[in-house]
Amino acid sequence: MSTSAELFARALQLMPGGVNSPVRAFRSVGGTPFFTKAARGATLVTADDRELIDFVCTWGPAIHGHNHPRIKAAIAAALEAGTSFGTPNPYEVEMAELIIRFFPSIQKVRMCNSGTEATMSAIRLARGFTKRDKIIKFAGCYHGHSDSLLIKAGSGALTHGNPDSAGVPASFARETIVLPYNDRAALDAAFVANPGQIAGVIIEAYCGNVGFIMPDAGYLQFLREITARHGTVLIFDEVMTGFRIAKGGVQEREKITPDLTTLGKIIGGGLPVGAFGGRADIMDHLAPLGPVYQAGTLSGNPLAMAAGIASLRLLEELNPYANLDRLGRQLRDAVLAACRAKGIPVQVPQCGSMFSIFFTSTPVRDYATALTGDAKLFGRFFHACLAQGVYLAPSAYEAGFLSTAHDGPAIDRACTVLATAIKEL
């Protein structure tokens, strides 16, 4: 089999930047990406036959570790019956029942094929429901790559210095108001300045795309109150956090009922999927019942549904959240202790199985403070970890993820590697 270097040389001739998603290209940490030929548990196996402890977890979905036997078996069983039907299928109903059971704010749900589709559709629905055009998003929050949302975005867009993408018409961008996260006064001012015009507010309730950032106490409650007061649809983007921070996502942990929620990642068990759902009176504005159009040839795909159902049923059975938080704290404490010993300023926001490492003395609570992190130092740290067999997200502005498969030797070994890498920085 070809090495990563050989594959990347070929890929560069065939694909822009040699990748199918920009953050994979290692541009912000330098060097060239490895190629993965297999994954199991907490481990990636590279084309060069290296085994890496993986803290990206395919950017969130692999909460049970890679290639879990129950999910594999569910996909194999579904495969026997066919790969796509283009008609309603029984899996979709079971998936909808599970989502609605775990997320009490969701009375009706629509499946789609990615988180980008879910957020794009939720925005259209909020606009169609309220008959208003403007939306509010928060700097550094990334809600996929549709036009309305690719403004001051995090994730790969920020990583590559392009948070406002070329190709988004200025007339579209004008309908998107971007505010600082965690800033109540800015929210108040935006509603005063745009009376009766704001269709929806979309937020990564816990940000995972500018690194991991949590809200100040009471901020999300304030957001709920102000949107309700103005008849504005509150959309929680829980593509990353849904079924990860808690079974019912951030909204369960924070006890908040948004009007709409977007989901993805874990509900596909590693296959491509997205979903959005919420109040029935809003969801019933979707075609075929209502005037807001949204569709998809592969939506509710039986293989993706089967994988997702298996993943959600495992979560129900295992209730792994306390254990995942223990692993997250072990990793956080190892990094904090090593940085303290070395005299390197660091912030390690962590909740359950999500975390970030910002090399800065400034507490990180929004986009501006995330940018105070030393990205060059992060790049050196990233490569020192990779050299010792630990794979962190290849950007200072992405969250890390843990899985149940990290429990045991993997987390112990990873903590040693991270601490040694810090010592040698």
Binding site for ligand HOZ (CB under 6 A): 21, 23, 59, 142, 155-156, 209, 398
- Nearest residue (CB) to ligand HOZ, 37 versus 160: 160
- Nearest residue (CB) to ligand HOZ, 142 versus 359: 142
How near is the Cβ of 179 to ligand HOZ at its closest, in Å? 20
How near is the Cβ of 153 to ligand HOZ at its closest, in Å? 10
How near is the Cβ of 82 to ligand HOZ at its closest, in Å? 29
- Nearest residue (CB) to ligand HOZ, 92 versus 398: 398
Compute φ and ψ for 80, nearest 5 degrees: -55, -35
- Nearest residue (CB) to ligand HOZ, 7 versus 207: 207
Does the annotation mark 397 as catalytic? no
Residue among 108, 152, 247, 265 flagged as catalytic: 265
Does the annotation mark 265 as catalytic? yes
In whole angstroms, give the CA distance from residue 322 to residue 246. 9
Residue whose Cβ sits closest to ligand HOZ? 21
Burial of residue 262, with CB atoms counted within 10 A of its CB: 0-12 exposed, 13-18 middle, 19 or more buried = buried
Instruction: Compute how many other C-beta atoms are within 10 angstroms of the C-beta atom of residue 380.
Output: 16
How near is the Cβ of 75 to ligand HOZ at its closest, in Å? 22
- Nearest residue (CB) to ligand HOZ, 59 versus 129: 59
- Nearest residue (CB) to ligand HOZ, 15 versus 337: 15
Compute φ and ψ for 236, nearest 5 degrees: -90, 120
CA angle (174, 262, 220) in 5-degree steps:
75
Residue 111 DSSP SS3: strand
392 within 8 A of 348, measured Cβ to Cβ: no
And the tokens for 3? 């090495």
How near is the Cβ of 2 to ligand HOZ at its closest, in Å? 22
In whole angstroms, give the CA distance from residue 42 to residue 393. 14
How near is the Cβ of 90 to ligand HOZ at its closest, in Å? 30
Give 121-166 as a DSSP string: HHHHHHHHHHT--EEEEETT----S-GGG-SS--HHHHHTT-SS-T
Give 45-77 as a DSSP string: EETTS-EEEESSGGGTT-TT-BT-HHHHHHHHH
Residue among 237, 259, 366, 407 flagged as catalytic: 237
Residue among 142, 181, 321, 367 flagged as catalytic: 142
Cis before 288? omega within 30: yes
Give catalytic residue positions. Answer: 142, 237, 265
